Amino acid sequence: MKKNNVLKTTAIMAAAVLMMTACSSPSTTTKDTVETAETTKAAKAAETTEAAKSDEALTVEIKDIHGMVTVPVNPQKVISLDNRTYETLSDWGIELVAAPKGVMPAGSQYVADESVLDIGNHREPNLEIIAAADPDLVIVGQRFASYYEEIKKLVPNAVVIDLNFDVSEEADTPGENLVNGLKDSTVALGKIFDKNKEAEQLTDDFDQAIEAVKSAYNGTDTIMSVVVSGGNIGFSAPHSGRVWGPMYEVFGWVPALDIDNTTSDHQGDDISVEAIAQSNPDWIFVLDRDAAVSSTTDAVPAQDVIDQSPALQNVTAVSEGHIVYAPADTYTNESIQTYLELFGDLQKALAE
């Protein structure tokens, strides 16, 4: 009798367990299914977000002289026609497929690299080479700025940006244009080639170099800036003169001589050494054009021209050794690095 009761009780308990299992299983299974579905959905959403971020990273918005432009990040086939960009691109390890070697620094890695096609100089460029190179990006500026529209038509599938900025005689604020132009173009290149930290460092160094020159200049010494070309001395006028002109505005220099109807001519404006001597400048700042472009062995260095001019020997700047020469490649390498080097030389000289 007891045995039957035990069996009966066991059977009832087993049935109860089965009922509980039957009741609970669908709920548990449903919960697991929902959680799995939600996890899958979240994963897909994350993948979509990452994909969107990846797509965004493929391009960047930069501002050139014509407005906002969408540019591919790290483009594979790049052409630069802007002398203000070569040293920056070279320092960052950016390869070029073509460049105007005739108006580039002789020591540039791009000039020596035979795989880089030569477009020629800006006076007689072979623009068909640009089309043949099938570039992703063409950087226009400075000497080639006037070819912007023509180049866009030649390479309709490429992005063409114009990093030019005006420091000529027509510019209202050449000094401001020089400073902002060099900084803005450096930042733009940093975005395009994923070198934002490097670009930021360059612009910070540039700002500091400007302040250092301002601090070193006493505010009263008179400045004469010249361009030496073909053994002749040309006047690099305040405001518009080649290389030096905008710096009068940037640093507040007092000009030793002011002449009407000056230009931004690449050889400077005509001036006699007697006029320079009569102005008796405290400082003479010199751009040696031949050092950057002359291929002849008989080119006379700017320093020799100054040193061997009898009319200049009693000038304060010469007698006291107050002469600063721009880096030898400045005429064809007006990069932010060149100005950093030049500003460092100016600061050191003015502080002595």
Task: Identify any residues that bridge with 27 across adjacent strands, giving them in sequence order.
Answer: none
Residue 268 pLDDT: 76
**Residue 202 in tokens:** 């360059």
Residue 11 pLDDT: 46
Phi and psi at 264, nearest 5°, equal -110, 30
Classify 139 as helix, strand or coil: strand
Contact between 69 and 194 under an 8 Å Cβ cutoff? The reply is no
Contact between 111 and 120 under an 8 Å Cβ cutoff? The reply is no
Phi and psi at 259, nearest 5°, equal -120, 140
Q: What is the pLDDT of residues 230-285, one digit of tens each?
A: 889 999 999 989 999 999 999 999 999 988 877 776 677 788 999 999 999 999 99
Residue 296 pLDDT: 53
Residue 106 pLDDT: 86
Rounded distance between C-alpha atoms, residue 313 and residue 138, angstroms: 48
Classify 116 as helix, strand or coil: coil
Task: Identify any residues that bridge with 225 across adjacent strands, giving them in sequence order.
Answer: 285
**Residue 82 in tokens:** 């802007």
Residue stretches of the chain with pLDDT short of 70 = 1-57, 265-266, 293-298
**Residue 81 in tokens:** 């026609």
- In 3D space, the residue among 117, 107, 149, 142 whose CA is nearest the CA of residue 292 turns out to be 107
Neighbours of 215 (CB within 10 A): 11
**Residue 7 in tokens:** 């069996």
330: region left, alpha or beta (phi > 0 left; psi from -120 to 50 alpha)? alpha
Contact between 87 and 329 under an 8 Å Cβ cutoff? The reply is no
Q: Can you list the pairs that 179-185 forms with residues at least 24 positions away whose Cβ atoms lie under 8 Å?
A: 179/206, 179/210, 179/250, 181/84, 182/84, 182/206, 182/336, 182/339, 183/207, 183/336, 184/63, 185/82, 185/84, 185/85, 185/141, 185/336
Residue 259 pLDDT: 86
Element (H, E) at 77: none
- In 3D space, the residue among 262, 282, 281, 65 whose CA is nearest the CA of residue 181 turns out to be 65
Residue 39 pLDDT: 56
Contact between 90 and 108 under an 8 Å Cβ cutoff? The reply is yes
Residue 269 pLDDT: 77
